[in-house]
Amino acid sequence: MTAAATRDAVDGVLLLNKPRGLTSQQAVVRAKRLFWARKAGHTGTLDPLADGLLPIGFGEATKFSQFLLDADKGYLATLRLGTVTATGDAEGDVIQQRPVAVTLSQVTVALQAFVGPLQQTPPMHAAIKVRGKPLYAYARAGETVAREPRQVTINSIQLIDFIEKTLTLRISCSKGTYIRVLAEDIGAALGCGAHLTALTREQAGEFALADAVSIDDLEGMAMPQRRERLQPPETFASGLTRLDVAANDERRLISGQRVDLGPTAIPGLCRLYGSEGVFFGIGEVNAGLLAARRLVSQLQGEVSGQNGLSNPVVTG
């Protein structure tokens, strides 16, 4: 019997407070072991330097994590002015030091210039892949490769503290935003350079760090207590409209057929609930017709109609 066969079919969402020093995948592996889960995956990478909110999906929940991957994120960031590093954060070698002579007014003006849509070039130490290899692998080999700028959106930047050469900022941004790049750009705008010294993810979509649990706390719990920390598998899709369907329509959707809701039905994705109020998947309404897009597994195996949505990398 394999190790995976001895694990439980755990389905749910865990809001984990990832500590500094762990990669996101290492955190997932530890959480997976604590729950004896067969399959798990996270919903957006946090660098080892960063701590904070890391939502993890177990089992069926991994099918719906794309909705959180696309959600806005919130961070508490600490910047050190006057020092530029090779990586844009505290892990890189110092490559330049400059005098810092900026006022609170100058900082405020500079920060507001970054609110809104902007183009960001992914840093060489990022995890995204180019030609099948993560950028950080090229960087570690001393190579630099061309990267295409990407549009991101900074929803807001709030100045929390400004003491000598240290800025503390609360940032709300779109998915795919590199805070270390933003830190470097802010430093450049102030004329003194900067790098990121600390980063905490406080928000992911509607989920908050205040509701997360640490690995240390989980290790101190018995298994029933750990299971109580799990939210339902559909939690990642909680921002979608709920649609309750009759038993016969549920059967039709599961078998891959469409259901006619009429011309007044609101188009778009929705959460599907059966006649007994049990969640069974994600559907999409188009021109009055409801079709299944991603369904949970049934007792008799995987159902049909699983299309139109992508999954994150998970460990099985």
For the record, the structure tokens of 156 come out as 């807001």
What's the CATH code, domain 73-204? 3.30.2350.10
User: Cα 311 to the chain's mean position, in Å?
Assistant: 13
CA-nearest of 182, 191, 163 to 98 is 191
Q: Give, in order, the Cα–Cα distances in Å from 32 to each of 61, 62, 155, 299, 303.
A: 13, 13, 33, 23, 25
pLDDT at 254: 93
pLDDT of residue 144: 83
**Residue-level pLDDT at 43:** 87
Q: Which helix H or strand E contains 244, and what residues bound it?
A: strand 241-244
Predicted pLDDT at 6: 59
* Tens-digit pLDDT string for the chain (316 aa): 344 545 678 999 999 999 999 989 999 999 999 999 999 999 888 888 899 999 999 999 999 988 888 899 999 999 999 999 998 999 889 999 999 999 999 999 999 999 999 999 888 777 777 787 777 778 777 878 888 899 999 999 999 999 999 999 999 999 999 999 999 999 999 999 999 999 999 999 999 999 999 999 999 999 999 999 999 999 999 999 999 999 999 999 999 999 999 999 999 999 999 989 999 999 999 999 999 999 998 533 333 334 444 444 444 4
The answer to whether 20 and 236 have CB atoms below 8 angstroms apart is no
Residues classed as catalytic: 47
Tally Cβ neighbours within 10 Å of residue 4. 11
Strands (E), 135-184: 150-163, 166-173
Q: Kindly report the CA angle at 299 between 294 and 300, in degrees rounded to 5?
A: 90
Q: How do the domains of the chain map onto residue ranges?
A: 73-204, 239-295
For 272, counting Cβ atoms within 10 Å of its Cβ (0-12 exposed, 13-18 middle, 19+ buried), the class is buried
Radius of gyration of the chain (CA): 22
* Cα torsion angle, 200, 206, 210, 214, sign: negative
Please give the class, per CATH, of domain 239-295: mainly beta
Tell me the C-alpha distance between 59 and 37, whole Å: 7
Q: Is-contact 316 306, C-beta < 8 A?
A: no
